[in-house]
Amino acid sequence: MQLEQQLRNTLDKKDILLMTHIVLGYPSFEVNREVIRQMVENGVDCIEMQIPFSEPMADGPVILKANQDSLAAGTMVEDCFRFGAEMVETHAIPFLFMTYYNIIFKYGEEAFFERAAQCGIKGFIVPDLPPEMGAAFLELADRYELAPILIFAPTSTDDRMKQLAEYGRGFIYCVARRGVTGKKSEFDHDFDDYLGRCRAATELPLAVGFGIQSKEDIEALKGKADMAVIGSRTIRLVEAEGAQAVGAFIAGLR
């Protein structure tokens, strides 16, 4: 089933979906496995699994450190593929890969897509690859039926949003504010105007990420977005309290 339809089927039962973010291999694949189990059992609807990269330019200090520590521990791309296939086989929600283009380029674009499709991955988030520079990437995404997730930002013009939406599949990732991941976002009148522009530019579901940290944040998005993205907050939680703390936190977001 294509990613967009899978998400829309779930939206028929919920007023907003939850997507979470983990860095593969941080602090270990064993901990990743337990964190994902707790996330799914407590209502997460989609998970983006980040293949670590040495220079994750869109990520703040928490996710940057997680990337670096995972690489220092020896995490390889093939480890991520094997783990991704295991998670798809184990849990009945869509899984995405998030990474940076150099990883895909070095692996080989078509080989990367073919391997991801074999694993059952539903799509990709590649924040440093604008569609104008990724024609072959987008062609392969269509061929292998993997959704390329495009990104809107508050600085995006209306015309640019419409251009990006033409290439996007699955959903649009709406960055809540300028800057990198991890800092809390403010949901004020300007933010509402921004989400209104996002909604006018596409018929795809809208996911909002960067700085979503609490139930109150998610409540503020209901009726405006289709999915809330939790990233740095759960990584901090695992660092401070261990994987066993994730389930109660996710359950408390509803």
How far CA 121 is from CA of 27, 66, 193, 235, in Å, comes to 22, 22, 33, 22
Q: Which tokens sit at 4?
A: 């967009």
Spatial separation of the C-alpha atoms in residues 250 and 38, rounded to whole Å: 8
Spatial separation of the C-alpha atoms in residues 199 and 196, rounded to whole Å: 5
**CA–centroid distance for 152 within its chain:** 13
Number of C-beta neighbours around residue 58 at 10 A: 17
Spatial separation of the C-alpha atoms in residues 185 and 52, rounded to whole Å: 25
DSSP annotation string for 187-214: --HHHHHHHHHHHHH-SS-EEEESS--S
CB neighbour list of residue 202: distance below 8 Å, 6 or more residues apart:
161, 162, 165, 168, 172
Active-site positions read 48, 59
Helix (H), strand (E) at residue 149: strand 147-152
Residue listed under structure tokens 């979503």: 212
